[in-house]
Amino acid sequence: MPTNPAHRRIAESFGVDAERYDRARPRYPADLISRLAAGGREVLDVGAGTGIVARQLRDAGCHVLGVEPDPRMAEAARRHGLTVEESRFEDWDPAGRTFDTVVAGQTWHWVDPAAGSTQAARVLRPGGRLALFWNAYQPPPELAAAFGEVYRQVAPSLPFSPWAVADPYATVAEKTIDGIGADFTTPEVWRYAWEHEYTRDEWLDLIPTAGGHNLLPEAELSALLDGLGQVTGERFAMPYTTIAVTAVLR
């Protein structure tokens, strides 16, 4: 969990509506999940949230333990039959347990990079893999421009616009690579391109789960959703790229 107060508020906002988060957030590509599952059955999921990654890996035959600092998210994951321990990953006590793979889906940018890398090296078995990944949506330019204009008009209090850059997690991936310590092999970047078809209602259901959106004043969030609904078609395909930064313990 970040120490910067503004970043901490955003990090803690995801659990405000854990059920919506679990319902609306996209899953991860089957090819990525299969590749990770092939590396071993014992997996640690960092920032497990509601258990989206953990359930996909469980369905692929893995035994998954989650670590999650937000009790609301952890409880939602437990309702899906997952084992989750409540802690910041940097402070978590593994009690001698080790794993074949450590994963973090959409969460590693909330982890202190140096402490996180050290902790991952501590809990991985020799030859185990650290895999840190994000889903990045990449709408067509005209749709991104329309979304961006709505944000500028009705949600100026957001600290960032999700439509400001074409590849929003590229910089995150670069910083992640720089933060992986010498205990690991040279990091690789895996990319998976895919699409998800949304109805307007499904897309508007997703928006409040984005970082910081649940902190908007109610009237501002309502105006944002109304504005986005006006520029969104009844149904559309959203291109995604899943970016995974991965390295193996030496």
Which pLDDT value is given to residue 19?
A: 96
At CA 10, angle to CA 221 and CA 66, rounded to 5? 120
Does this model's pTM top 0.85? My answer is yes
The whole-angstrom separation of Cα 205 and Cα 229 is 11
The whole-angstrom separation of Cα 247 and Cα 120 is 11
Which pLDDT value is given to residue 164?
A: 60
For the chain, 250 residues long, the average pLDDT of each consecutive 10-residue run is 63 87 97 98 98 98 98 98 98 98 96 96 98 93 91 83 66 91 97 97 96 90 96 95 97
The whole-angstrom separation of Cα 148 and Cα 168 is 14
Q: Give the CATH number of domain 5-139+165-196+240-248.
A: 3.40.50.150
Which pLDDT value is given to residue 4?
A: 61
Which pLDDT value is given to residue 115?
A: 97
The whole-angstrom separation of Cα 123 and Cα 49 is 20
Q: Locate the domains of the chain by residue range.
A: 5-139+165-196+240-248
| Contact yes or no for 39/98 (Cβ under 8 A) | no
